[in-house]
Amino acid sequence: MAREHVIGLEALEAKGWWKTHKWLLLRRASQLSILALFLLGPWAGIWLIKGNLSSSLLLDTVPMTDPYLFVQTLVTGHLPETAAVLGAVIIAVFYMVIGGRVYCAWVCPVNLVTDAAQWLRDRLGISTATRLSHNARYWMLGMTLVVAMVTGGVAWEMINPVSMLHRGLIFGFGLAWAVILAIFLLDLLVSKRAWCGHLCPMGAFYNLLGRASLVRVTAAQRADCNDCMDCYAVCPEPQVIRPALKGAEHNIGPVILDANCTNCGRCIDVCSKDVFRFGVRSNNSSINSPNAGSLSGKTEVLS
């Protein structure tokens, strides 16, 4: 009998430990260093950045404001000051270029929590039947805006686990840890990747923001795919892979265009055949060229 399939083992044997964990580690480094940057002020008195992910001031000059929160304040009927407008534009443009849900994978502190839940879920072999709709997040997004409009307050911020976790770490938790624990348990015991993959309205907003983003993961070498399914197993939004990876015969380009792709790069890590790489949206020729979508643009001669 064949040995049990271990996710990523094939890649580990083919590429070594570093190359199978490169993007994961870079992502963790990004998440933690952004958090550290915010904590440097309150903990060490070094104020490179003040505030939190909702709105902050970098080096006492550059304002940054969460565009989702900005839209919520607009909906309540308040027109914010220039600093917030500028801050929201800066952040919006940034994610419009590098991918909306890059926020989810590379910045958001809740990702650490839900990834931990998913890791534990895999380790304990928990599988649950509760299925949430992938579109629930858009309903959630609409709901938060409607509630903001009706109550005239930024109601979602009263329970938003994302800002609550970040603000909690920087300014003090109160009972916010309970909300974070609830998210962890939801993902662990109720439904797979329930929060980040199905419910979070922030993810939905950043998804919409990054609909036309430049930086995308591309299945450039999709001809080499050996159907090991490891990329589906590690992907937080597995439904985004198929059209790009298996689209050759339907004349669909190799670039993952689904805005729910978080550009986490885990598929790049875990693929023993190096099918995936980061690329740009425009290099999406459906002709199965091995270098379509390569960010570096260097060409290799087909042998």
Partner 1 sequence: MSNTTTNAARRRFLVDMARTATGVALFGVGLGFYARQSTALPAEALRPPGALPEEQFLGACVRCGLCVRDCPFDTLKLSELGDAVATGTPYFTARDVPCEMCDDIPCVVACPTGALDHGLTDIDDARMGVAVLVDQENCLNFLGLRCDVCYRVCPVIDKAITLDLQHNKRSGHHALFIPVVHSEHCTGCGKCEKSCVLPEAAIKVLPTRLARGEAAEHYRLGWEEKRKAGESLVPPDRERQFNLPEGVRYDYQGEGVIFEQGAAPTPEATPFDDDPLKTLNRGLEGR
Residue 87 is a binding residue for partner 1 (CB under 8 A): yes
Residue 269 to residues 24, 44, 87, 189, 247, Cα–Cα distance (Å): 8, 35, 33, 27, 21
Residues 6 or more apart in contact with residue 96 via CB below 8 angstroms: 209, 210, 212, 213
Residue carrying the six token digits 């550290």: 36
Q: How far is the CB of 246 from partner 1 (least distance, A)?
A: 21
Instruction: Quote the distance between the C-alpha of residue 20 and its chain's center.
Output: 19
Residue 190 is a binding residue for partner 1 (CB under 8 A): no
Residue 172 is a binding residue for partner 1 (CB under 8 A): yes
Residue 156 is a binding residue for partner 1 (CB under 8 A): yes
Q: At 239, list the tokens.
A: 């439904």
Select from 139-147, 211-219, 237-245, 252-260 the region that touches partner 1 (CB under 8 A).
Answer: 139-147
Q: How far is the CB of 68 from partner 1 (least distance, A)?
A: 10
Nearer to partner 1, 33 or 133 (CB): 133
In angstroms, rounded to a whole number, what is the distance separating the alpha carbons of residues 160 and 182? 12
Residue 158 is a binding residue for partner 1 (CB under 8 A): yes
Which residues, 113 to 132, sit near partner 1 by CB under 8 A? 132
Q: How far is the CB of 20 from partner 1 (least distance, A)?
A: 36
Looking at residue 204, its amino acid is A
Binding residue (CB under 8 A) for partner 1 from 130, 174, 208, 282: 174
Q: How far is the CB of 226 from partner 1 (least distance, A)?
A: 32
Residue 224 is a binding residue for partner 1 (CB under 8 A): no
Residue 69 is a binding residue for partner 1 (CB under 8 A): yes
| Torsions phi, psi for 126 (to 5 deg) | -80, 130
Residue 238 is a binding residue for partner 1 (CB under 8 A): no
In angstroms, rounded to a whole number, what is the distance separating the alpha carbons of residues 150 and 99? 31
| DSSP-derived secondary structure for 69-128 | HHHHHHHHT----HHHHHHHHHHHHHHHHH-TTHIIIII-THHHHHHHHHHHHHHHT---
In angstroms, rounded to a whole number, what is the distance separating the alpha carbons of residues 270 and 231? 6
Tell me which residues touch partner 1 (CB under 8 A).
41, 47, 50-52, 54-57, 63, 65-66, 69-70, 73, 76-81, 83-84, 87, 132-133, 135-136, 139-140, 142-144, 146-148, 150-159, 163-164, 167-168, 170-176, 178-179
